[in-house]
Each structure stands twice: as C-alpha cells, then as structure tokens.
Structure 1
C-alpha cells in the first residue's frame, strides 16, 4: 500500500448471506421466515471490522444489494446505492439487533436456535464465515452457528438444491445497471437459492423490465423501490463489495477497466517509453 504503484479497482461483486425460506427443518424455517430475526442477524455484523480485520484488502462495506459506483441517477447524478439505502438495514447496531432478536424469538415461540452456515473453503470465505459465527453467537443469545466450509463446487451444488440454512454467496453485475443484481432475487429466478418471494419486490422488478422499460425515470424509481423492499425485508443480507488492489507500472497506459462484465480490456494498452 505504501508503494506509489499501488492502485485499487472496484468491481461490482456484492457478497451476501442467503436465507433459506424453504428450509427442510421446520423450526429453522419458522425462524428464517421471521423478518425481525433476519434483521437482527444483519445488525449483528460489523462490516467495517469484517472488511478491515478479516478480509484485509481494499474491499468496502455494502450498504445495499446493488453495489456502489455501478450507476448514477441521470437526473441527480447520485449513486444508486446512496439513493436506495435503508436505515438500519446494513449498519452495526448491537442493541437494536438484540431487541429485534428477542421479539423475533417471542413471535416464533423459539427459545434457542441452531443453524448451519454453508460456505466454500476458498479465501476469504473461510475466515469470513468464522467471523460471522463469532459475531452472531456473541450478539444473539441462544443462537448457535455451525460452519460448513467445503469445496466451492460442492457448496454451490448444495445451495442450488436448497440444502442449507444460511449460505455465503455473491453476485457480480454483467452490465452497469441495477437490474443485473435485482433480477436474481425474483421468485422465478434460478439464482434465488433461498426462495425469497415478495409480491411487492417481484412486481417492481417486473415493471422495471417490462411496462416501464422505456421510461427512464419510472424504471429508475421501480428499481430504487425494489432495492428498498428487499433491504427492509432483509430478504438477503449484503456484507461487502469487492475491490481489487494491484501494483501497476505507471508506464503501462491505455488499459480499460470496467466495473461490470469483463473487468479488463487490453485492446488499447501500450508501454510508454
């Protein structure tokens, strides 16, 4: 980091926790379908600590499902993530987390909860899952988090078949538009492994893709409202956004970096004399 050649490049990958709304265990299913319990889990995670002390690279904390610096409002020039942030959805608030947790347990009639967190054993997923276990068990009385860190192909296969309670996942945008993220959490998406299903969310994403597709202002508002809906629900829990760091020779010119899709384009790259 102290080198003058040190450079960082943000990329539109959001890492997040997936909840299994159709869990095979009736008690866990009841718990994970309770919004207060999901909100308590999110509020128990100190994302700044996670990024700084656990991941330890240039990655940034997530405020929303859609990554920051992906696209700006054509009218206001405000970033989509800034415009759609919901208070107390991805911040660290131990007191509120414990309050919501107790309320959620009372509403479901559950006194203790034991859940499994599925994640690949790739870096940095293993230390991230260890941190999540520590933070959640420390802040939420009666919660036990068992870790299952397995090879990524096996973890992905289990997630796709719904064989998990919580799953540490992520998504990168294919193009610079919020819909690239938002569309994967609709009820008919093959990537919606936890089977999150909100009629409000589904309708908003559908409007953005269909009837409002040619109305820039209405489409933008549909996507803002969809983002706010899934964050209020805590349908998934965003954790951090990937930022890569490199040592880059200052003589190398013309490299094009994209924050979505193909990250690098060397077509016009050259080395200056």
Structure 2
C-alpha cells in the first residue's frame, strides 16, 4: 500500500488494553492554543495539493492511502477514526451487543442517508462486504482484511482460487432487519474497532452499484456519498484535480464546518512550495528532502514519524530472486543510513526491520526492543552472498528490472538504490522503470516486476497488520515468498494467541526474524512525513493508519 498511520489500540476489556497499544505518533492541528477566531466572513474553503491521482473510489477495489483518504472523507462505515485518532461509532448507533464468546456482534444503525436520498441500511453493508470478498470482484483488500477475521471469508477465497462454487451468504454478516446488522468473527481479536473503521468495510448501495455496472465509481457522478463530504468534481482516475463539498445530508453535518476542498495534483515539491508561498494553496503534499531543511523551525511545517516502512520487494517468480543468496546480497547491498540522512534528509530513519519502531507496545516495551536490527547494510557480506548466488545460478552477471515511482522524490531514491546496488554487486545491471502510482499497483497485482520499491502503512493498531503481509499466497504477498514456519507462527498469532498478548508478541517477533533471515524483503527506511499547512487551517486530523487525513473537523480561522 499505502501509504498510512496509527493511534491507540482500543480494546474489549481492561486486560486487552495491555495488548498492542500504538505509540502516539499522530498529529492534529487543533488544540487549546489556537490563535484567531472563526468569523462569519471567513470562507470555510481550503485548497490543497496531492502528489498522485486517485486510483479508484470503489471501496471494494481500493488499496492505497490516496484512495482511502478520499473515500474516508466522502464515505463512512460502522466506525470512523475521530479527531483524536481513535475509532469511534459512526453509522453504528453506539457500541454493539457482543456475545459471550466475543465472536458475534450485533450493531444497531443510526438514521443516515445516501446522497440520492436512500436510507443507509444493514443490507448495504451485507452487499458491500460480500462484493469485496467475492473472487469475481478481484478485490485486493477484501480477502486481506477479511480472511481469518470474518467467519466464512477464508472458505470463499479458497473456493474461488480453486474454481469451485461458493456461497457469499456464508460470509459472517447478516441484515437482521433494515437497521440491525449481525457480524460473526472467525475468532475473537482485540482490534475489531480499527477494522470496522477501515474503508473496505464501508457500505454500498446495491441498487445503485448494479444499475451503474462497469461505470460505477468511474467519476463523481457515478458514486453515492454518505460521509461528511461529496465529490462534486472528479473525472476519473486520470484526473489531476477534484473538488469535495460539504454533504448537507450527512447525519452529523452540524459538526462539519468546512464547505469546500479543492485538490490539485502536483508531483514536484518545488512547485508545491511555490504555490504555497504564493497563497495559491493551503496545504502541500509530502515535501521532498531538499525542501525540509529550509522550513526547520517554521510553524507552517507539520512533521511526524510514521509507522510506515519502505522496502524492496523481491519477486521470486524471477529465478535469480528465488535464490536466497541473491536476495541477501541485495538486502545488504545499499547504505540505508546514507539514504536516510543525505537523500531523504527529512527525519526518516534507516529500517533494519519491517515492523516499525514507536508503533505498538506491550507491557511498556516497544515491539522493536527484542529483535532490534535484523538486516543491516554490510558490503562484505553482500558481496560474499552475491558471488555465492551467482555461482549457484551458473552465471556471472544479472539484469534485474526495478519498478519505482514517477514523483521527484521517488526518482531520487530509485536512482540512489540503482547506483548502490550496481556499485556494490559487480555484474548487476538495474533497469529502472518509473511509473505512476496507479500503474505500479496494477503491476504489483499482476507481479509484473523483479524488484519493486514499495511501502506499507498499517491498516489497524496491531503488528499483525505487517506480519500477515507475507503469508504464503496472501493477498498482499504478491512476490511468492513462502516459509511454512513463518506461516505457522503468524497464524498462531491470529488465532490461538489472538487474546494472549505475551504469546502473540513472541510469535510475531520470531516470525519477523525468520522472514528477514530469508531476506524475503529488503527493508530500506521508516518514513518521516512533512507538509506545509496554512496556520489558519485548524483541526486537520493526520492518521497513522487507513486514510492519511480527516477533514471532518477542519475549520478556517481568521487572522
């Protein structure tokens, strides 16, 4: 993915509250020390820049934080992340009734409308969840988010993969009546509120989706909205500008101050900064490293360390990358500290792990404390592994395709990685392929790459949001990594140890160690984020998981 973010993990009981609570890395721009008062003559409108187009607005097909950000602001599910970065009831009318075995949840829905006037019903949730898990939909996130969590999801996914018949009605979700929804879990887990706040679990209006057919979600006019805002302008995935306006039919519209958000795509940070300084925009996208030092100490720059880790994915459909020594050589063959300090230069830190630091804690200790650094830059070890791998393959040189991004920052990072790998691994030629984010997602889904520079931000407040990425055949694996011991440990964490914090952590920490001993991925860095924000724009929520930003509480203040 994603791109993304984290808050405190909410829990079912006091005991569960000890389990995997996220460190507070999130930022918001509200607070008691705001200067200036809102005034009737202050337009409640903002202009902002983004660094990429929206790949999709279909909740069943979305998989990147750009999509999730806008979906989360025009839509809503049972829960939403609130301005304090915690999941809170949204379309759910208060807390659900939970069965004694903690598997069956009964939600009452509040009165809410779609933008066409239809009521939001329990059946809208049933339709959306079934559509996301249906193999015919080919949802990248439906199986990932539901398998092992929602009863019946695994069986549907496995039947689809085997070209066998399946019944979507066996998924653990039922509409008991128009306003009563029953959800059955595969087994209890503590992060269910985070899960139900995620856009994959938002409802869809069955009649509307089926009437639109292939045109559904293709542009603003082929979407329905039930959240704080509506897309009043968006011409599809190639659009480089779009507009969100307040949804007057939203059930909580009285608490939405902002009337309009105008968005333009600007991929070059210098152009974004020039627009900001000229007063043409109130908010930039993420700043590139060469700009960040210029704004040190400037209260217009908002900075935070994300629980987002970037790595090189190594597609084992490539015979050379199937070789563990070639993977180890690549994983140890670039100076990530130099990359973080000299190329990125934005507060990002080297990553010798794939579960981020300062993300989740148990018993007062960070997840990273036990495993620490697992795979470091080491030219000598990299060259030894490289020579051994080449010998095992019976070759003396390799050419490997490298799939990267098309933004200014991505191109700098990718050029650095190419230079490092070719310099430190004699006989290696790295062929850079710079593509837009939406294209990279398509090629990732079809595994059309050798090396891919990719990142992942968590989807809920639990380390399992990282460790379950690399399960054999997993929906987000898409590089053919497989280790039976790894699978066993992660599945135990998901099931047998789901409510046993100590055992859960030990299993996940051991799994991380195994995967990086295999050099399944090559960790690069943990990202720091920096944006420029007009000081008069207050209440912007910046999230650690799911969507990047929440605009529901934004208000423009006077000078």
Same fold (TM over 0.5): yes
Alignment match, 1:38: 327
Structure 2 Cα separation of the partners of residues 135 and 149 of structure 1 = 18
Alignment match, 1:236: 521
SS at match of 1:241: strand
Alignment match, 1:2: 296
**Is the 1:174–1:261 contact (alpha carbons within 8 Å) kept by the matching residues of 2?**
yes
Superposition deviation, residue 250 in structure 1: 8.2
Question: Are 1:185 and 2:470 an aligned pair?
Answer: yes
Superposition deviation, residue 142 in structure 1: 0.8
Alignment match, 2:360: 71
Q: TM-score, normalised by structure 1?
A: 0.86
**Is the 2:457–2:544 contact (alpha carbons within 8 Å) kept by the matching residues of 1?**
no
CA change 1:272–1:223 in 2 (3 A) is farther
Structure 2 Cα separation of the partners of residues 148 and 67 of structure 1 = 27
CA change 1:269–1:153 in 2 (3 A) is closer
CA change 1:246–1:93 in 2 (3 A) is same
Question: Are 1:22 and 2:317 an aligned pair?
Answer: yes
Alignment match, 1:155: 440
Deviations 1:171-203 (A, max 9, x none): 110122110011111113111111111111111
Structure 2 Cα separation of the partners of residues 95 and 132 of structure 1 = 17
SS at match of 1:180: helix
Superposition deviation, residue 36 in structure 1: 1.7
SS at match of 2:530: strand
Structure 1 Cα separation of the partners of residues 493 and 408 of structure 2 = 36
Superposition deviation, residue 245 in structure 1: 2.1
CA change 1:152–1:251 in 2 (3 A) is closer
Alignment match, 2:369: 82
Q: 2:337 aligns with which of 30, 44, 48?
A: 48
SS at match of 1:48: helix
Structure 2 Cα separation of the partners of residues 190 and 257 of structure 1 = 27
Q: State how 1:1-273 maps to structure 2 within 5 Å.
A: 1-5=295-299, 6-23=301-318, 29=319, 31-72=320-361, 74-75=362-363, 77-87=364-374, 89=375, 91-246=376-531, 257-264=542-549
**Is the 1:63–1:81 contact (alpha carbons within 8 Å) kept by the matching residues of 2?**
no
CA change 1:165–1:264 in 2 (3 A) is closer
Structure 2 Cα separation of the partners of residues 158 and 260 of structure 1 = 24
Structure 1 Cα separation of the partners of residues 331 and 350 of structure 2 = 13
Superposition deviation, residue 81 in structure 1: 2.4
Unaligned runs of 5+ in 1: 24-28
Structure 2 Cα separation of the partners of residues 241 and 96 of structure 1 = 23
Deviations 1:32-91 (A, max 9, x none): 12222111111111112212222232222212111111112x23x22212322354x1x2
Superposition misfits of 4+ residues, deviation over 6 angstroms = 248-255, 266-273
**Is the 1:11–1:242 contact (alpha carbons within 8 Å) kept by the matching residues of 2?**
yes
Structure 1 Cα separation of the partners of residues 355 and 401 of structure 2 = 26
Higher relative contact order (CA 8 A, sep 6+): 1
Moved more, 238-247 or 188-197: 238-247
CA change 1:123–1:172 in 2 (3 A) is farther
Q: TM-score, normalised by structure 2?
A: 0.44
**Is the 1:41–1:97 contact (alpha carbons within 8 Å) kept by the matching residues of 2?**
yes
Structure 1 Cα separation of the partners of residues 405 and 551 of structure 2 = 31
CA change 1:67–1:79 in 2 (3 A) is same
SS at match of 2:360: coil
SS at match of 2:509: helix
SS at match of 1:124: helix
Moved more, 240-249 or 93-102: 240-249
**Is the 1:14–1:171 contact (alpha carbons within 8 Å) kept by the matching residues of 2?**
yes
Deviations 1:226-264 (A, max 9, x none): 111111111011111121124578898876654333455
Superposition deviation, residue 213 in structure 1: 1.0
Structure 2 Cα separation of the partners of residues 142 and 206 of structure 1 = 40
Greater CA radius of gyration, 1 or 2? 2
